[in-house]
């Protein structure tokens, strides 16, 4: 089916998910929305995150998408279950694919999860893991400073290393053999987190979500038939220039033009 796929995030971080979707499904047309006017979602209430997420889904539906990927972990944790029954098209979040990959990877059955305050408080990852592996021991930690450090371009900065040590150091050698990077920005810190937690398998929800999307589209008969590289449209709710500047950090290549939207019918 030749309609585009919608992908949205609270801001720029969801480009890490878009990047994996580009790799897995290069010929699909993609529409990305980054809600840069209202980022961060990670410190907001479930009601607010759900309201914002619904506005973006409505916008994407108006654009004629065939499926929506909720690239934001916080939105996947706090809003997805409420939103899913409201739409007739498939909505895929990042929690279930990430949880499944962690369950597949763990041998010690002790799994760590890091994310925003909202994601960790919701226990969404813990529930998704225990549904698949009831005896799993799941420990979670909110790492709120990682998001601004990544946006600042400090993925390899000494300060970021110290912050990572404070957040994660206590998990070194204590039985956790798998860690879910449960936030859009954390794949950018993968190398550094691996140095703080050597030997721990890092699960990148972004990559797992792209694989799950491919399987979901195939199952529903929605895979695109085109052979050419798909088209891309990028929307932000504030300052398109910021998305252009920071995109390469998340996406690995330059963006095309970025359009501004107030999420109305434009
Ligand atoms: N995109 C958010 C997430 O994956 C991180 C940034 C925010 O707090 O909005 O949870």
Q: Whose CA is nearest to atom 7 of ligand 1?
A: 40
Alpha carbon distance 209, 18 (integer Å): 10
Protein residues whose CB sits closer than 6 Å to any atom of ligand 1: 9-11, 13, 39-42, 72-74, 115-116, 119, 147, 183-185
> What are the beta bridge partners of residue 109?
none
Residue whose CB lies within 8 A of the most ligand 1 atoms, among 69, 113, 116, for a mutation test: 116
Q: What is the spatial distance between Cα 181 and Cα 98, in angstroms, rounded to a whole number?
A: 8
Handedness of CA 147, 152, 155, 157 (dihedral sign): negative
What average pLDDT does the segment 105-115 reach?
97
Predicted pLDDT at 265: 55
Q: Give the pLDDT score at 15.
A: 92
Q: Indicate if 143 belongs to the active site.
A: no
Q: Taking the CB of residue 151, how many other CB atoms lie within 10 A of it?
A: 19
Topology adopted by domain 5-93+207-260 = Rossmann fold (3.40.50)
Choice among 12-26, 138-152, 207-221, 231-245 with the minimum mean pLDDT: 231-245
Domains 5-93+207-260 and 95-205 share a fold: yes
Percent of the chain with pLDDT strictly greater than 70? 99
Q: Where are the beta strands (DSSP E) in the chain?
A: 5-9, 30-34, 67-70, 91-93, 110-115, 137-142, 178-182, 201-204, 232-236, 258-260
Catalytic residue flag (residue 72): yes
Range 95-205 has CATH code 3.40.50.970: no
Average pLDDT over residues 187-194: 95
Mean pLDDT of 8-32: 94
**Mean pLDDT, residues 112-129 taken together:** 97
Q: Is pLDDT of 1 > 80?
A: no
What is the distance in A from the centroid of ligand 1 to the CA of 179? 17
Closest alpha carbon to 194 in 147, 155, 238, 159: 155
Domain boundaries, the chain: 5-93+207-260, 95-205
């Amino acid at each position: 089916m030749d309609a585009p796929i919608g992908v949205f995030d609270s801001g720029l971080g969801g480009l890490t998910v878009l990047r994996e979707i580009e790799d897995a499904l290069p010929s699909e047309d993609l529409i990305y929305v980054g809600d840069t006017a209202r980022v961060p979602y990670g410190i907001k209430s479930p009601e607010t995150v759900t309201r914002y997420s619904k506005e973006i889904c409505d916008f994407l539906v108006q654009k004629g998408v065939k499926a929506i990927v909720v690239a934001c972990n916080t939105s996947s944790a706090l809003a997805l279950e409420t939103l899913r029954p409201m739409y007739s098209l498939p909505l895929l979040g990042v929690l279930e694919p990430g949880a499944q990959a962690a369950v597949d990877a763990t041998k010690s059955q002790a799994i760590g999860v890091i994310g925003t305050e909202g994601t960790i408080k919701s226990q969404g990852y813990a529930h998704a893991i225990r549904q698949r592996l009831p005896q799993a021991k799941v420990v979670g930690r909110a790492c709120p400073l990682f998001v601004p450090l990544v946006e600042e371009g400090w993925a390899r900065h000494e300060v970021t290393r110290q912050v990572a040590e404070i957040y994660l150091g206590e998990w070194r050698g204590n039985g956790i053999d798998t860690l879910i990077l449960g936030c859009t920005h954390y794949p950018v810190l993968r190398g550094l987190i691996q140095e703080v937690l050597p030997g721990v398998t890092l699960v990148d929800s972004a990559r797992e979500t792209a694989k799950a999307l491919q399987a979901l589209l195939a199952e529903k008969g929605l895979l695109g038939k085109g052979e050419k590289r798909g088209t891309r449209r990028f929307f932000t709710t504030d300052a398109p220039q910021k998305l252009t500047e920071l995109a390469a950090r998340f996406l690995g290549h330059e963006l095309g033009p970025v359009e501004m939207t107030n999420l109305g019918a434009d």
